[in-house]
Amino acid sequence: MSWAAPDNVKLAVVGLGYVGLPLAIAFARHSEVIGYDINRKRVSELNQGHDSTGEANAEELSSGQFTATDELSEIRHCNVYIVTVPTPVDRHNYPDLTPLVHATRAVASCLQHGDCVIYESTVYPGATEETCVPLLEEVSGLGFNVDFAVGYSPERINPGDRVHRLPDIVKVTSGSSAEAAEFVDGLYQKIITAGTHLAPSIRVAEAAKAIENTQRDVNIALVNELARMFKRMDLDTESVLAAAASKWNFLDFKPGLVGGHCIGVDPYYLIHKAQEHGYHPELILAARRINNSMADHVTGELLKLFARRQIHVVGARVLVLGVAFKENCPDLRNTQVATIVHELQRMHANVEIYDPWVDSEQLSNETGLHLSDHLGSDYDAVVLAVAHREFVEMGADGVRKLLRKGGVVYDVKCVLPAELVDGRL
């Protein structure tokens, strides 16, 4: 196959969310990049210099050679397509490749001889070559590794992180042939200052991505289980972890709710493929069960506080501070805070949610919940669910001022002094 030199590519990024937009902006500092997304509102906002995810500012959107479009015809002239669409799970926690399949069909309709399609979406080992490649061939009528090639370079975006940005994180790369792998690796070396790691195959790169977040899921599940054990032993988990961390090789993980698009989702892709091969991954499944139960655990602990303080849950005024899945970020994907709110509402508590980072319309569309636009007072309980900087800066005194006399504070994130809250993980 003949390849365009890395400096002469015509690049399209398909999917302009938390992964695709930073990638498009980074490449646009070097060459023209067209971002394609089916969300017309999102495209319009980006072309006007606004990014609702908070990952890019107006200057970054306007300083390079980046434009966004929802018209497939506008990317047909490109010769490199990078697919960055979501790969969620369905309500049974089974991998849902629908967005990936639709994006692949769209790209395939544009594909020409000599093009390269690179996937960044998280999948199970083998998905790129087993699911995506046949679709590319079927729709385009072209031959794999004859007329077009494929690469896989798993995303490592950490939403809301201003320290570990795209160029600062080593990028795993791979290709469907030695020549394709070299091309993909050279392409990413243009934007990744931290360097690249060229994997020996696409399946290795896919598996590496899957275990990155599975490992974190398992470690978080361990400290979540420890926190529940220590609660029964009347031990402060944070103090125990601080003491254990004095050893040089103790891993620093904290208990908490596990949401987001990665840690709470990626393990299911690995589980699916393992079971397809006849292996039942007991530890990974146990970690998922533990972490998925933490929202119910927090609700249960809050109800115990209510009982001890003789607060009736029916009609109780509860303020939940933060509903995003992580601090200083508007990302609502798989937020476990919504589970807590829904359960309290089911018990007929009056729950208000305050989160200055989250879009009210998006929250309503995705969870059916509604934001309060201001903080009230005289609450029976305040649940500090997300450690946004605004809430941390309030301090324990500021949070307690929101309570009525006899009210309780439950600190999910353990950011307030233990002696100044009524409950914590």
Q: Are 356 and 329 within 8 A, CB to CB?
A: no
Q: Are 334 and 259 within 8 A, CB to CB?
A: yes
Cα dihedral: 270, 167, 8, 138 (round 10)? 10
Under 8 Å CB-to-CB from 71, ≥6 apart: which residues? none
What stretch of H or E contains 34?
A: strand 33-36
- Phi, psi (deg, nearest 5) at residue 172: -80, 135
257/274 Cα distance (integer angstroms): 26
DSSP letters, 144-212, are BTTTBEEEE------TT-SSS-GGGS-EEE-BSSHHHHHHHHHHHHTT-TT-EEE-SSHHHHHHHHHHH
Judge whether 262 counts as a catalytic residue: yes
Collapse the DSSP code of 89 into the 3-class scheme (helix H, G, I; strand E, B; otherwise coil) and give the result: strand
| Assigned token pair, 96 | 């849902």
DSSP 8-state code for residue 131: I
Active-site residue (options: 132, 262, 329, 414): 262
174/205 Cα distance (integer angstroms): 7
156/374 Cα distance (integer angstroms): 35
- Pick the closest to residue 174 from 141, 145, 208, 151 (CA basis): 151
| Assigned token pair, 237 | 């988990």
43/22 Cα distance (integer angstroms): 14
Catalytic residue numbers read: 262
